[in-house]
Each structure stands twice: as structure tokens, then as C-alpha cells.
A and B are shown apart, each in its own frame.
Chain A
Amino acid sequence: QQQVKQSPQSLIVQKGGISIINCAYENTAFDYFPWYQQFPGKGPALLIAIRPDVSEKKEGRFTISFNKSAKQFSLHIMDSQPGDSATYFCAASIQQGGSEKLVFGKGTKLTVNP
């Protein structure tokens, strides 16, 4: 059960609004949950990350909420800006065979209209 399910697939938000992207997982062995931001034609870049012993982490306009019992975590982008338009991937990290392995969700394409 090494999947990470991400929703929605696409999201359109007005400038100044709140963008919310959700992810869910099954495997309780996951021990690190990063979010990546990817602009067209570029590689993903780490945006924010959280460990399962913390319920919330905030960095500027970006907040991760983590619900360990529900095995869900979400990214909130406050005061969304057109420059936030990108594809966002949640991920989960697991130790496997002595190494760390990242499993990614399928991504959410966010469009912030001016």
C-alpha cells in the first residue's frame, strides 16, 4: 500500500482566495511528507514538508495540515497569487531496504486567476 492519493486533479482559484489540495495514504510506515511545486518545463522544487508527529506547519502563505489518525494531509495556500499557478505534488517518504524512497501523488494543477 505505497500509494498517495491526491485531489483535486485541477483547481482554479481567484486571486486572494484560499487553495486547498488534499492527499491521503494507507501505509503508516511513511515518516515524512513533503510538498513539491513544479512550473511548466521545470523540475519540482520542495515547497514545505512535515513529519507525522506535528499536526500543522506554516511557512508564509503555505500551511500543511496533518491528520495522523485519518491518514490525510493537505496543503493550504492563503491569499493565492497568479504566481502560485503551478502543479503541486504531495509525497510521502518510506524506509525500504535500508534506503529512503519517495512516493508521489499524481499532482494538482493550480490556476490562480488575476
Chain B
Amino acid sequence: DGGITQSPKYLFRKEGQNVTLSCEQNLNHDAMYWYRQDPGQGLRLIYYSQIVNDFQKGDIAEGYSVSREKKESFPLTVTSAQKNPTAFYLCASSRMDSGNTEAFFGQGTRLTVV
């Protein structure tokens, strides 16, 4: 089955720790994205990548880091610098066609700081 796999589904982090969220896709999409979802806030873009070994900051990149070493993988690290990391994190991918950015989303990772 083609799709996007995020893991883990639930993640608990202690204050001051870095954690890495996994995102893998087998859709052969060039573009991948990370969004953060908070109640009543919609989806806010953290980072995105159009090509391997290249990525750009989104609207709320502070306290996060990413890598894109393979086309299929786009892991997100939530660092200790992120002041309020508890949220639902969504990974997405899309083709690069102009004017037709259908994004396919994973099932999300719920991160809780304890």
C-alpha cells in the first residue's frame, strides 16, 4: 500500500530532552512537509523539503530541526529549545505539479511533554 507512515503514534518526552519523529513515504513524492496542529490553530508549517539534502523553514521552525538524506524519509527533531512542544505533529508529502498541490498526510504523532 502506498502512503505515509509516521511513528510513533504517541510519544512522551521529559523536559530538556530532544526527540525525533519519524516520517516515511513510498509515494515517490519529491516534496515533504511537517505541520504542527494545536486545538483551534489549524495546521502550521514547521519545515518543508522539495528535494533531497535541501529544506526550508516554515512559519514556526524555531526549536525544530529536520534532515532529508533520502527521498522517502523526512524526520523531525523537537529540540529542548522548543518551549511548548506538546502538540499533534503531521507529516505530509506531495508531487511538485504546479497548481495541484494535493498533500497526503500521515496519521500523526501526538507528543506530550511530561
CB distance from B58 to the nearest CB of A (A): 8
Considering only CB atoms and an 8 Å cut-off, how many residues of chain B contact the other chain? 30
Nearest CB in chain A: distance from B90 CB, A: 5
Q: A95-B98, A99-B31, A100-B98 are in contact. Are A44 and B40 (CB under 8 A)?
A: no
Please report whether the interface of chain B is mostly helix, strand, loop or mixed according to DSSP. strand
Residues of B in contact with A (beta carbons under 8 Å apart): 4, 6, 31, 33, 35, 40-45, 48, 50, 56, 90, 92, 94, 96, 98-108, 110
Chain A residue total in the interface (Cβ 8 A): 27
Q: Measured between alpha carbons, how far is A95 from B99 in the docked complex, in Å?
A: 8
4 nearest CB pairs, A to B: A43-B105, A106-B42, A100-B101, A104-B43
Q: Decide if A102 touches B101 in the complex (CB within 8 Å).
A: yes
Interchain nearest-CB distance for B64 vs A (Å): 17
Residue of A nearest to B105 (CB): A43
Q: Does A114 contact B (CB under 8 A)?
A: no
* Contacting pair A100 B94 (CB below 8 A): yes
- With A32-B100, A49-B102, A93-B101: A100-B31 Cβ-Cβ less than 8 Å: yes
